[in-house]
Structure 1
Amino acid sequence: MARVPGPPPLEGLRRRIERHRRGKPAGEGHFVRETFCLERQAAREKAREWFDLWPKAAYWTEVESWRMLEGDRIEFTMRRLPSAD
């Protein structure tokens, strides 16, 4: 007699949902991220401020993503490690 497969096990999905609810989704890592929406010159200054405060070599600081908006505004996300240990 052939066995009819039942629904797939949901334990893996439950674990992923629980991790997400705790605020650390899988794949997010340990980076600190902050998103800004500023005029072009202010955006450059904010990015430079991050690189000055948290040097790339120690904190892996980078502009993770960016896009241009209407009115010469830039929306961008900065990313860095929380510490240089």
Structure 2
Amino acid sequence: MKIPGPPPLDGLRNRIFRYRQDHPAGGKSEFVRETFCLSRPEAREKAREWFTEFPKAAYWTEVESWRQVDGDRIEFTMRRLPSAD
């Protein structure tokens, strides 16, 4: 009895290609994003400024991502809606 190999991937490749054509990377987002790289205390203060100026309840403000780089520096991205409609 012969063991079948993996199924052909042509259909999947075509679907991925069509999706990428319809949804290009870096497409329009409703959110405003800004990335910072600051010392840990400065990063905390900057995040507080954003939450004060753009309250979470109205703007859906959040720290979208963060990571520690070069010792005690924090690289982070803040995200919010453009207006509080």
TM surpasses 0.5: yes
**Matched residue SS, 2:82:** coil
The one-letter code of the counterpart of 1:45 is: E
Poorly superposed stretches of 4+, deviation over 2 Å: 7-17
Q: Give the structure-2-normalised TM-score.
A: 0.71
The one-letter code of the counterpart of 2:31 is: F
Alignment size in residue pairs: 74
Relative to structure 1, the CA distance from residue 55 to residue 11 in structure 2 (aligned partners, 3 Å threshold; closer, same or farther) is same
Q: CA deviation at 1:69?
A: 1.1
Q: CA deviation at 1:70?
A: 1.9
Q: Does 1:16 align with 2:23?
A: yes
Identity of aligned residues (%): 64
The one-letter code of the counterpart of 2:36 is: F
Match of 2:35 in 1: 35
- The residue correspondences of 1:1-85 to structure 2 (distance < 5 A) are 8=14, 12-17=19-24, 20=25, 24=27, 29-85=29-85
Q: Give the structure-1-normalised TM-score.
A: 0.71
The one-letter code of the counterpart of 1:49 is: E
**Matched residue SS, 2:21:** helix
Deviations 1:4-34 (A, max 9, x none): x9x94865443223xx4xx525xxx411111
Distance (Å, rounded) in 2 between the aligned partners of 1:43 and 1:37: 8
Distance (Å, rounded) in 1 between the aligned partners of 2:20 and 2:27: 15
Moved more, 55-64 or 7-16: 7-16
